[in-house]
Every structure is written in structure tokens, then in C-alpha cells.
């Protein structure tokens, strides 16, 4: 995995609608083992995709992330892990590591896609400590956030 990188595993607390200076927006909320929270603002389709897997929901037709997981399974490939490794100008960067026949392959990807796929394949979600330190928000800033279920 990322043994040489200073990173922390996080879990997905949920998908919320959070008020920000530009209005309300969906965000996936990541939490580390110490209870520190890190929001990543995402698009509505990604919010629906992440929320559906968190709630063990099924859609009438497979979402794009479901399709990718099906393709990976047929190709005997699994998600080793995802890593959110940078934040530049309010934009997060991530990579997903796939494993096939003992060979690891890294791909640049949006954090929201990485999270949606990792949840479906039960893969660890990692955040570099430098990003986590800069991105953690005070819980007071999240007061009033609504779960996406309550919003939609």
C-alpha cells in the first residue's frame, strides 16, 4: 500500500449538505480515529452514489461506480486502497491503487470517485497527514449540516 507515505486511514461518516459561503453544497465527511472531521465538497451524482452504498441502497440500474466494480471483478482486479494526497486551491487530488495478479497500478482520480469505489470494494481510504492537518474543520462549522437523505 502506501507504507512510505505519512498517511492516516479515515472512514466515511456520511454525505451531508453543508452551508458554505457560496450556498449549500453536498460534501462527503471523512473522519479519522481521533474524531477529526474533513469535508470534501462533491457533485450531486457522486453524493448520491456514495450515499447509496453507505445506506446499502440499490438503484434501479447500476450507477457508474457499480459498473466499474463489476468490470474490475470480471478482470480479477481489486482496489488495494485510495489515497487523498494533495489539496491545491481548494481542489483535492487523489489516486486509486488497483491490484491484479500481485501487480499494483496507481491511477489519478477525483477523491469522490475514489471514495465511491473504495466503499464498494471495502478498500481503505487514506489521507496524507499534511492534507488532513490542513483540511480538518471545527465541528461548530458543521452545525446545521443535513444528511443528504433529509435534503433530497
Gap between the Cα atoms of 2 and 20, Å rounded: 33
Whole-prediction pTM value?
0.90
pLDDT for the residue 59? 74
Which residues of the chain fall below pLDDT 50? 150-152
Gap between the Cα atoms of 26 and 147, Å rounded: 9
pLDDT for the residue 151? 44
Number of domain units in the chain: 1
pLDDT for the residue 70? 95
pLDDT for the residue 98? 98
Gap between the Cα atoms of 50 and 5, Å rounded: 26
pLDDT for the residue 2? 59
Give the structural domain span for 70.
7-151
Tell me, yes or no, whether 2 lies in a domain: no
pLDDT for the residue 152? 43
Tell me, yes or no, whether 1 lies in a domain: no
Query: Strand pairing partners for 125?
Result: 10, 82
pLDDT for the residue 150? 47
Kind of pairing between the strands at 125-128 and 78-88:
parallel
Compute and round to an integer the Cα radius of gyration of the chain: 15
Gap between the Cα atoms of 95 and 139, Å rounded: 27
Amino acid at each position: 500500500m502506501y507504507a512510505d507515505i505519512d498517511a492516516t486511514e479515515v472512514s466515511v461518516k456520511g454525505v451531508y449538505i453543508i452551508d458554505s459561503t457560496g450556498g449549500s453544497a453536498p460534501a462527503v465527511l471523512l473522519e479519522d480515529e481521533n474524531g477529526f472531521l474533513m469535508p470534501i465538497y462533491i457533485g450531486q451524482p457522486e453524493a448520491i452514489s456514495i450515499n447509496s452504498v453507505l445506506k446499502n441502497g440499490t438503484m434501479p440500474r447500476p450507477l457508474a461506480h457499480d459498473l466499474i466494480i463489476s468490470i474490475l471483478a470480471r478482470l480479477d482486479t481489486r482496489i488495494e486502497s485510495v489515497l487523498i494526497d494533495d489539496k491545491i486551491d481548494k481542489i483535492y487530488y487523489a489516486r486509486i491503487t488497483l491490484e491484479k495478479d500481485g501487480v499494483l497500478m496507481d491511477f489519478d482520480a477525483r477523491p469522490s470517485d475514489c471514495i465511491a469505489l473504495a466503499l464498494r470494494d471495502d478498500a481503505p481510504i487514506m489521507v496524507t497527514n499534511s492534507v488532513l492537518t490542513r483540511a480538518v474543520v471545527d465541528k461548530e462549522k458543521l452545525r446545521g449540516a443535513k444528511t443528504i437523505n433529509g435534503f433530497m
